[in-house]
């Protein structure tokens, strides 16, 4: 399992403070974008990040040299995902964006191909209440470049871990899904032993507050490295 820290912050200053702080240990990050509509919490917006780069204020938090070595996934917890995807297509000119995730439950019109929205691979996120059968009734699994399983109710860091969501990893593998599976939500020292015992493990885990809120970062990173 690969670790990709999940970062949920209110403003670009805090976002890039965390990226710089964690870049000593990681080179890939998942940035949470929440609109306060699809989920109750609201985070830094993509427009805020653009303005941050344009003002050059980011250089007070991270060097351009370091930024060029990093890659990013964007987790869109938003209702208007098409607009945000368009913005990320432009942001890709500045930073290396590997994946975009949109929530399966926010899609109301299944008459379009997700891949047409962006040259960046777009994966689908399953909320705890979303079932694998719901996904397969609308999409050919082979055409989805990545799937992210939420092991908490999304929106706010600190929501309780839901072990029943882990069954979806096994179901996807048994259905022949071979692309990357991400697990996001309450990944920490208490839940990792449960995750590590799975017959079918996620390819990528996305710990959030376990890394961003801790005062023992080095110790926590060492624990992650030991288990993964």
Whether the pLDDT of residue 110 is over 90: the answer is: no
* Prediction pTM value: 0.96
How confident is the model at residue 111, as a pLDDT?
78
Structural domain spans, the chain? 2-227
d(CA 69, CA 216): 25
Mean predicted confidence (pLDDT) in 205-223? 97
Residue 156 has pLDDT above 80, yes or no: no
Give per-residue pLDDT as tens, 51-81: 999 999 999 999 999 999 999 999 999 999 9
SS3 content of the chain, % helix, strand, coil (to 5): 40, 20, 40
Question: Does the pLDDT of residue 159 top 90, yes or no?
Answer: no
Reported as a single tens digit per residue, the pLDDT across 131-149 is: 999 999 999 999 999 999 9
Q: Report d(CA 144, CA 29) in Å as an integer.
A: 20
Which superfamily is assigned to 2-227 in CATH? Answer: Aldolase class I (3.20.20.70)
Quick one: pLDDT at residue 174? 98
């Amino acid at each position: 399992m690969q670790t990709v820290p999940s970062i949920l912050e209110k403003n670009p200053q805090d976002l890039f403070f965390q990226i710089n702080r964690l870049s000593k240990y990681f080179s890939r990050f998942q940035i949470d974008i929440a609109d306060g509509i699809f989920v109750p919490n609201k985070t830094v917006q993509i427009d805020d990040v653009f303005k941050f780069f344009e003002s050059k204020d980011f250089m007070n938090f991270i060097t351009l040299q370091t930024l060029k070595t990093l890659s990013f996934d964007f987790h869109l917890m938003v209702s208007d995902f098409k607009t945000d995807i368009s913005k990320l297509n432009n942001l890709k000119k500045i930073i290396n964006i590997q994946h975009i995730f949109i929530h399966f439950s926010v899609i109301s019109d299944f008459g379009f191909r997700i891949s047409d929205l962006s040259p960046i691979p777009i994966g689908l996120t399953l909320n705890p209440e979303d079932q694998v059968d719901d996904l397969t009734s609308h999409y050919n699994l082979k055409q989805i470049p990545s799937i992210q399983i939420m092991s908490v109710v999304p929106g706010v860091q600190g929501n309780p871990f839901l072990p029943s969501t882990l069954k979806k990893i096994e179901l996807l593998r048994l259905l022949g899904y071979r692309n990357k599976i991400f697990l996001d939500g309450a990944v920490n020292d208490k839940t990792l032993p449960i995750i590590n015992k799975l017959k079918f493990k996620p390819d990528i885990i996305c710990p959030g507050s376990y890394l961003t809120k801790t005062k023992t970062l080095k110790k926590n990173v060492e624990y992650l490295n030991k288990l993964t």
